[in-house]
């Protein structure tokens, strides 16, 4: 354990004692809730926050009517920010009913100074703010908060701690996984790509890869704790390892991860098309543990716009890459992200995007309306009129959904391996699981199957999911 970790473990221990005192004082257990916005990185960060809070002794509460509520925020598009501002109003309502309640904000929005100023000024009921680079000091922040509550220290009741860059990686702090049998694993943090529309490099900082040794050790610990599927996480996993003292490629790391005994499935996210190597395609084709699903964000089909977006590939290169992948892994499910209405997008540019959608035939696609982000180069350019963007968005969405349904139905009648994740949310005689291709399957079963990989006959495809029957 390094010094950073030791210090934080000590802070968690201190906070635990203070919370015990506070619990005695208020004569009931204190509850908490964490709400996550945004991507898989944030979801993984929330597991770390929850782990720390449970260690301190807070009790998880399903609803947001808790004594401590933390929003882990996202700022990739403006609607993510608006959601947070909207929901803060509700939280304030709960706080008026419960004087013990504390409200915390963390995550990507907090790395924008203008957002922090706005919260300070217009949302005085927020008690705690921290950023993406220091979630691991949550124990320290809670300790400070409890010291004030107990009257041990005085001062500004509001705690704000935001760092503009990362310092070290704390590896061994408590985390509480959402699922017992699968887990995300950060292999790198930050992003150096600076796509012209994107705020992530500004709020997540420079690209940093973890060492293969630390990653493998974490996965071994996860296996010992019951995990059989891991999702390797990074904004651009294909550039993993380039800046390590001893450079390693992502394909090499993937092979090492597959070799960990007890791991049965490996996924990863996200792959930038510009540096997806043939070496990686080869590992995906030959390692049976690597799932046959690849998320390959297109953003736009127009070579002209791709250049403006700073994506480092054009339409032809993207299509050629898809061909190479499909030749080697014919049953792969491809999914993507597409932006509509990027500044200067013409009808011709948009038709190029539609053309790629027709040619690639994605199993599913996340489609986004371009959202200007302050500080990014694209935000200063002339925007496409809203009615034009909306019309294009509808046309794209319609085709993406039709094709997605057709592609998703292709396995009808086949028998495939399913990792059972949970009891079906609507019908408790069914369980829900995922195929290697990431598609969802519902079939009769019970709790004893959760976390197991079983063979299921995919009898019927209904839109984007299958109804099936387990086979012995």
Contact 228, 182 (CB under 8 A): yes
- Site membership for ligand SAH, residue 77 (CB under 6 A): yes
How many angstroms separate the Cα of 177 from the Cα of each of 47, 51, 226, 377? 6, 8, 11, 37
Q: Considering only 187-195, 315-323, 355-363, 413-421, which stretch makes contact with ligand SF4 by CB under 6 A?
A: 187-195
Q: From residue 234 to residue 253, what is the string marking binding to ligand SAH with x (rule CB under 6 A)?
A: -xx-----------------
DSSP 429-467: TEEEEEETTS-EEEEE--GGGTT-EEEEEEEEEETTEEE
Closest CA to 222 of 188, 266, 189: 266
Kindly state whether residue 371 participates in binding ligand SAH, applying the rule CB under 6 A: yes
The binder of 203, among ligand SF4, ligand F3S, ligand SAH, none, by C-beta within 5 to 8 A per type, is: ligand F3S
User: In terms of CB distance, is 174 or 201 closer to ligand SF4?
Assistant: 201
Does residue 302 interact with ligand SAH by CB under 6 A?
no
Task: Examine residue 436 and tell whether it contacts ligand F3S (CB under 6 A).
Answer: no
How far apart CA 373 and CA 369 sit, in angstroms, is: 12
Counting contacts by CB under 6 A, is residue 366 touching ligand SF4? no
Q: For the chain, state the CA radius of gyration.
A: 23
Question: Binding to ligand SAH (CB under 6 A): which residues in 270-289?
Answer: 270, 272
Q: Which of 137, 157, 135 is nearest to 146 (CA)?
A: 157
Residue count at the site for ligand F3S (CB under 6 A)? 11
- Do residues 289 and 265 touch, judged by C-beta distance below 8 A? yes
Establish if 235 lies at the interface with ligand SF4 (CB under 6 A): yes
CA torsion 126→131→137→141, rounded to 10°? -20
51 makes contact with ligand SF4 (CB under 6 A): no
User: Between the CA atoms of 141, 145, 150 and 151, what dihedral angle is there, to the nearest 10 degrees?
Assistant: 110
> What gap in Å lies between CA 236 and CA 140, rounded to an integer?
31
Under the criterion CB under 6 A, does residue 111 sit at the interface with ligand SAH?
no
Q: CB 454 → ligand SAH: shortest distance, Å?
A: 32
φ, ψ dihedrals at 347, nearest 5°: -60, -35
Is residue 362 within 8 Å of 407, Cβ to Cβ?
yes
Give the H or E element holding residue 22: helix 3-26
CB of 190 to ligand SF4, least distance (A): 9
Contact positions with ligand SAH (CB under 6 A) in 191-220: 197-198, 200
**DSSP β-bridge partners for residue 189:** 208
* Part in contact with ligand SF4 (CB under 6 A); list of ranges 7-15, 110-118, 198-206, 404-412: 198-206
Q: Which residue(s) pair with 455 in the sheet?
A: 417
Stretch that binds ligand F3S, among 35-43, 117-125, 142-150, 402-410 (CB under 6 A): 35-43
* Of the candidate residues 337, 355, 457, 469, the single one contacting ligand SAH (CB under 6 A): 337
Report how far residue 184's alpha carbon sits from residue 42's, in angstroms, rounded to the nearest whole number: 11
Under the criterion CB under 6 A, does residue 42 sit at the interface with ligand F3S? yes
Site size with ligand SF4, rule: CB under 6 A: 10
| Tokens read off for 96 | 């008026």
Ramachandran region of residue 369, left (φ > 0), alpha (ψ -120 to 50) or beta?
beta
d(CA 284, CA 287): 6
Alpha helices (runs of H) in 27-123, residue ranges in sequence order: 40-56, 78-97, 113-122
Instruction: Find which of ligand SAH, ligand SF4, ligand F3S, none residue 183 binds, CB within 5 to 8 Å per kind.
Output: none
Give, as ranges, the residues between 78 and 117 that touch ligand F3S (CB under 6 A). 108
- What is the total count of residues that contact ligand SAH (CB under 6 A)? 17
- The mark string for 184-203 relative to ligand F3S (x by CB under 6 A, - otherwise) is ----------------x--x
* Orientation angle between helical segments 3-26 and 40-56, nearest 10 degrees: 60
Q: CB 235 → ligand SAH: shortest distance, Å?
A: 4
Rounded to a whole number of angstroms, the minimum distance from the CB of residue 302 to ligand SAH is 14
Say whether residue 194 binds ligand SF4 (CB under 6 A).
yes
What are the structure tokens assigned to 187, written together? 């292999």
Q: Which does 232 bind (CB under 5 to 8 A by kind): ligand SF4, ligand F3S, ligand SAH, none?
A: none
When asked if residue 298 is in the footprint of ligand F3S (CB under 6 A), the reply is no
Share of the chain residues as helix, strand and coil, in percent rounded to the nearest 5? 40, 20, 35
Smallest separation, CB 283 to ligand F3S (Å) = 26
Binding site for ligand F3S (CB under 6 A): 38-39, 41-42, 74-76, 108, 200, 203-204
Binding site for ligand SAH (CB under 6 A): 76-77, 197-198, 200, 235-236, 270, 272, 297, 299, 337, 339, 368, 370-371, 373
Binding site for ligand SF4 (CB under 6 A): 191, 193-195, 198, 200-201, 235-236, 272
């Amino acid at each position: 354990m390094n010094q950073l970790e030791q210090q934080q473990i000590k802070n968690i221990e201190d906070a635990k004692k203070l919370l015990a005192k506070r619990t005695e004082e208020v004569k009931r257990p204190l509850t908490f809730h964490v709400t996550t916005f945004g991507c898989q990185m944030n979801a993984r960060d929330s597991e770390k926050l929850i782990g720390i809070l449970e260690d301190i002794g807070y009790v998880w509460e399903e609803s947001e009517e808790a004594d401590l509520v933390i929003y882990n925020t996202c700022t990739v598009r403006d609607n993510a920010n608006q959601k947070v501002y909207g929901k803060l109003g509700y939280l304030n309502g709960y706080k008026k009913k419960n004087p013990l309640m504390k409200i915390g904000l963390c995550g990507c929005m907090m790395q924008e100074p203008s957002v922090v100023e706005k919260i300070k000024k217009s949302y005085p009921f927020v008690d705690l703010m921290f950023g993406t680079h220091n979630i691991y000091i949550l124990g320290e922040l809670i300790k400070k908060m409890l010291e004030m509550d107990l009257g041990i220290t005085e001062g500004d009741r509001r705690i704000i701690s935001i760092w503009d860059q990362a310092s070290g990686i704390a590896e061994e702090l408590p985390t509480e996984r959402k699922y017992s049998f699968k887990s995300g694993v950060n292999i790198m943090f930050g992003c150096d790509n600076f796509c012209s529309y994107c705020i992530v490099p500004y709020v997540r900082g420079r690209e940093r890869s973890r060492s293969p040794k630390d990653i493998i050790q974490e996965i071994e610990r996860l296996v010992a704790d019951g995990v059989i599927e891991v999702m390797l996480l990074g904004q651009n996993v294909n550039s993993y390892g380039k800046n390590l003292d001893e450079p390693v490629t992502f394909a090499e790391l993937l092979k090492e991860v597959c070799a960990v005994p007890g791991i049965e499935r490996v996924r990863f996210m996200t792959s930038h098309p510009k540096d997806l190597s043939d070496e990686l395609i080869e590992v995906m084709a030959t390692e049976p543990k690597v799932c046959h699903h690849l998320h390959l964000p297109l953003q736009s089909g127009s070579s002209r716009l791709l250049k403006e977006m700073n994506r480092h590939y054009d339409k032809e290169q993207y299509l050629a890459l898809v061909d190479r992948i499909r030749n080697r892994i014919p049953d792969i499910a491809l999914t993507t992200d597409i932006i509509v209405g990027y500044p200067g997008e013409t009808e011709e540019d948009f038709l190029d995007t539609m053309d790629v959608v027709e040619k690639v035939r994605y199993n599913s696609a996340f489609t986004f309306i371009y959202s200007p982000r302050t500080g990014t180069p694209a935000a200063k350019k002339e925007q496409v009129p809203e009615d034009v963007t909306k019309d294009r968005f509808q046309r794209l969405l319609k085709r993406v959904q039709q094709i997605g349904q057709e592609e998703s139905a292709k396995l009808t009648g086949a028998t495939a391996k399913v990792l059972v994740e949970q009891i079906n949310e609507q019908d408790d005689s069914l369980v829900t699981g995922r195929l290697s291709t990431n598609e969802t399957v519902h079939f009769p079963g019970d709790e004893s199957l959760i976390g197991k990989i079983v063979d299921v006959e995919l009898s019927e495809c209904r839109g984007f999911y299958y109804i099936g029957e387990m086979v012995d």
